[in-house]
Structure 1
Amino acid sequence: MASAPVRVRFCPSPTGNPHVGLVRTALFNWAFARHAKGTLVLRIEDTDAARDSEESYEQLLDSLRWLGLDWDEGPEVGGPHAPYRQSQRMEIYADVAARLQDAGHAYRCYCTTEELDARRDAARAAGKPSGYDGHCRDLTSEQTAAYEAEGRTAIVRFRMPEHPITFNDLVRGELTFTPENVPDYGIVRANGAPLYTLVNPVDDALMEITHVLRGEDLLSSTPRQIALYAALIELGVAKYTPEFGHLPYVMGEGNKKLSKRDPQASLNLYRERGFLPQGLLNYLSLLGWSFSADQDTFTMDEMVAAFEIEDVNANPARFDLKKAEAINADHIRRLDVKTFTEACGPWLRAPHAPWSPENFDQAAWEAIAPHAQTRLTVLSDITANVDFLFLDAPVDDEASWLKAMKEGSDALLLTAREQLAAADWNAEALKNAVLAAGEAHGLKLGKAQAPVRVAVTGRTVGLPLFESLEVLGRDRTLARIDAALAKLGA
């Protein structure tokens, strides 16, 4: 297998919204495949009819397309190992399960849930491993007939070898599992439905997957799958056992593993807030891997060139929203102005924009965009930063008003209005006008411009003030200062 071309897979289940841990797994597989000039297979694990949905399936594909994580085989692409949805491969799993039983690698287990629980409790009380005890491993035909005469149903269990299983994890190094810690396990339910423990390695074998990169939570299933691969190789189903690499947990608040239920785990949250795909992927790549000691921001092409699975850290990685936002802001600043202007589009239209569509001025937006680009953390920030241009009046923010409109602000605004009215209408001249107004009242520029900013934009913070006034225009600027003066009773 060492000389086989790299083939990796990403095999999500279409249940609910995609989450960032799932995306990190997809990203590492994608980067590994692209670095090795290999193949990425997208396979959909949709055998849980109670939880899977077509809506989640479509959302999953849409999310991967939005992120730019393309696949070489799978849904919408096809390939030599189709179909790529497990729900369409049931006959394959049934055939393999039957062949495993015929060859003695699997057997029917008639133990009831109550019997299993009782034996587990007894084992725990005796200080022994509480996994399956092999009760049905070697049933005689008479015992089997007796169970079936009782009307018992049976699951199918795989027969684990009675020796330790050792393998080299690409992330964690050499690992050994002893037989008492890896008991026989179920591969087919009593109703005939195949379990993940069967379908996942069978598909990997038939699709000739060379490397399995997946989450740490699946590490305990690896010795089981390695044993199953040995049986599949014997049956001619598999050509080889793939190499395994288990990616570190992503931790959330309170030192707990980030779960689907955590609000910050939802991919949709970041998409709706206006994270750039490359910004989010850049940050997620740092959850267990690093580009270099002194560089956190990089392109996906740079990641692909540098990515080695052996460089992934086995220690848990903490999700840090502030760092994710900072890296996304870096990527926003890297955009050319035209791309940035277009990327902000969704947040300048309904339902995000609070102004009437007819109030939107494309020329004004294009003029202010370069100044906005350096201020944003996420694209959705743009709405509040430029609303002063497209609303009929500045937003009514009482906290900003009270903070800026101190005693004497009316006199300062009167002077500023006079200076602005007489000034050439460009940012430098407008700055000098407010500076002169401040000097007339013994104020430095920072103090002098605060009432002007709130009068014109409604907020104490925002885009560079004088460039904003230039784009807003003379008439609207002066009218808003007049409205503020009237409110102050001046």
Structure 2
Amino acid sequence: MKAPEHTNTPAKYRGRIAPTPSGWLHLGHAVTFSMAWRRARDQQGALVYRTEDLDPDRCRPEFSRGAMEDLRWWGLDWDEGPDCGGPFGPYTQSQRMETFAAALKQLKASGFIYPSPHSRREIKERQPQQSPVDGDPLFPVELRNTSSDSPQSYAEEEVNWRFRVPDGQIIRFIDNRSGEKAYLAGRDFGDFIVWRRDGLPSYDFAVVVDDHAMGITEVVRGEDLLVSTARQLLIYKAMGWEPPEWYHCGLVMDPATGRRLSKTHQSLGLRALREKGLRPGLEPGAYSSLSPSQDA
């Protein structure tokens, strides 16, 4: 099977919302997904709903069903998705493993990725530098696979596959909300995993493959994923694919603590708002009285 190519090249705007069913959605998800919905509708385009359920330890079917129920309650609709089908399905990532495997085969042949047998403990023992952007540890360059290390030296279950970033190269892109962004490879992010030793694609790799295969023309998501965009642009280039445009929303903060919302904030979960009989679609501040600090 070949890596995904469009069967019908989209001629108009195509956006997407892509929740991970690892918990109930909260107000921050609703705000971001509402922006994706609004941008698609304003441009008379299509909106795709995709379930990103590649973490078998955290994702559950009830959260998948609940996400669609809660977002419809919030007032959103979509044109393609797990519940309504469409020309680019399936729209659930766990059902798209053959597509991911084909793309991985192409990426391996390109020479941009290498097998990495090193464990988290081994990496931590090297006391790696941290990214000044998000604080994540940078993969130590001394642990990079060298030309003398043949991929055949390892069994697939023994290695992660990492993308070798071009150290010192500035990755630039335009964010349609906040303007030009620039990240330095090797400083702001290091060699990153595209395929895990447990046989699953990473977030960065899976969303690139799916956004390309589904013809997404603009990705709308939270600004906490800005540095992920830089990584993903390297994947697009390695695969020879045209990247979409980008729009990164501001994050919704818990008014009680000043910290960003997470799925542990049950009081500001969409399910909780529904059960309280509150009206959906209001500005985030309208729900601030529901956020006790102990939920943080």
Q: Provide the TM-score with structure 1 as the length reference.
A: 0.52
1:174 to 169, 177, 180: 180
Q: Distance in 1 between matches of 2:42 and 2:139?
A: 42
Q: Per-residue deviation at 1:84? A: 0.3
Q: What per-residue deviation string (whole Å, max 9, x for no partner) do you get for residues 193-217 of structure 1?
A: 1111110111001111111110122
Q: What per-residue deviation string (whole Å, max 9, x for no partner) do you get for residues 122-172 of structure 1?
A: x57xxxx9511334545234x4489649x9911001122341101111122
Q: Distance in 2 between matches of 1:36 and 1:198?
A: 28
**Residue aligned with 1:214, SS:** strand
1:244 to 239, 246, 256: 246
Task: Please tell me whether the aligned partners of residues 110 and 152 of structure 1 are also in contact (alpha carbons under 8 angstroms).
Answer: no
Q: Per-residue deviation at 1:263? A: 3.4
Task: Show the counterpart of 1:50.
Answer: 57
Q: Report the structure, 1 or 2, having the larger strand content.
A: 2
Q: What per-residue deviation string (whole Å, max 9, x for no partner) do you get for residues 264-322 of structure 1?
A: 3211221112123xxx31324xxxxxxxxxxxxxxxxxxxxxxxxxxxxxxxxxx4526
2:170 to 164, 170, 173: 164
Task: Show the counterpart of 1:36.
Answer: 43
Task: Please tell me whether the aligned partners of residues 18 and 49 of structure 2 are also in contact (alpha carbons under 8 angstroms).
Answer: yes
In the TM superposition, what are the counterparts of 1:264-283 in structure 2 within 5 Å? 264-276=267-279, 280-283=280-283
Q: Per-residue deviation at 1:33? A: 0.5
Task: Show the counterpart of 2:287.
Answer: 321
Task: Please tell me whether the aligned partners of residues 53 and 59 of structure 2 are also in contact (alpha carbons under 8 angstroms).
Answer: yes
Structure of larger gyration radius = 1
For the structure 1 residues 27 and 116, does the alpha-carbon distance in structure 2 shift closer, same or farther, using more than 3 Å as the test? same
2:199 to 170, 192, 206: 192
Task: Please tell me whether the aligned partners of residues 47 and 79 of structure 2 are also in contact (alpha carbons under 8 angstroms).
Answer: yes
Structure 2 letter corresponding to 1:158: F
Q: What per-residue deviation string (whole Å, max 9, x for no partner) do you get for residues 443-473 of structure 1?
A: xxxxxxxxxxxxxxxxxxxxxxxxxxxxxxx
**Residue aligned with 2:209, SS:** helix
Q: Per-residue deviation at 1:191? A: 2.1
Asked whether 1:213 is paired with 2:220, we answer: yes
Task: Show the counterpart of 1:60.
Answer: 67
Q: CA RMSD in A?
A: 2.5
Q: Report the structure, 1 or 2, having the larger helix content.
A: 1
Task: Please tell me whether the aligned partners of residues 48 and 81 of structure 2 are also in contact (alpha carbons under 8 angstroms).
Answer: yes
2:29 to 22, 37, 59: 22
Asked whether 1:112 is paired with 2:119, we answer: yes
Structure 1 letter corresponding to 2:245: E
Higher mean C-alpha deviation, range 191-200 or range 152-161? 152-161
**Residue aligned with 1:120, SS:** coil
How many residues are paired up?
273
Task: Please tell me whether the aligned partners of residues 100 and 209 of structure 2 are also in contact (alpha carbons under 8 angstroms).
Answer: yes
Structure 2 letter corresponding to 1:211: E
1:71 to 66, 78, 84: 78
**Residue aligned with 1:251, SS:** coil
Task: Show the counterpart of 1:368.
Answer: none
For the structure 1 residues 113 and 144, does the alpha-carbon distance in structure 2 shift closer, same or farther, using more than 3 Å as the test? farther
Task: Please tell me whether the aligned partners of residues 161 and 227 of structure 1 are also in contact (alpha carbons under 8 angstroms).
Answer: no
Structure 2 letter corresponding to 1:97: L
Gaps of 5+ in 2: 1-9, 131-135, 291-296
For the structure 1 residues 78 and 148, does the alpha-carbon distance in structure 2 shift closer, same or farther, using more than 3 Å as the test? closer
Q: What per-residue deviation string (whole Å, max 9, x for no partner) do you get for residues 383-442 of structure 1?
A: xxxxxxxxxxxxxxxxxxxxxxxxxxxxxxxxxxxxxxxxxxxxxxxxxxxxxxxxxxxx
Q: What per-residue deviation string (whole Å, max 9, x for no partner) do you get for residues 321-355 of structure 1?
A: 2689xxxxxxxxxxxxxxxxxxxxxxxxxxxxxxx
Task: Show the counterpart of 1:411.
Answer: none
Gaps of 5+ in 1: 285-318, 325-490
Q: What per-residue deviation string (whole Å, max 9, x for no partner) do you get for residues 17-61 of structure 1?
A: 221111111111111100000010000001111111111111112
Q: Per-residue deviation at 1:106? A: 1.2
Q: Distance in 2 between matches of 1:73 and 1:152?
A: 35
Q: What per-residue deviation string (whole Å, max 9, x for no partner) do you get for residues 232-286 of structure 1?
A: 2x2xxx3x1111111111111121112222233211221112123xxx31324xx
Structure 1 letter corresponding to 2:214: M
Task: Please tell me whether the aligned partners of residues 75 and 281 of structure 2 are also in contact (alpha carbons under 8 angstroms).
Answer: no
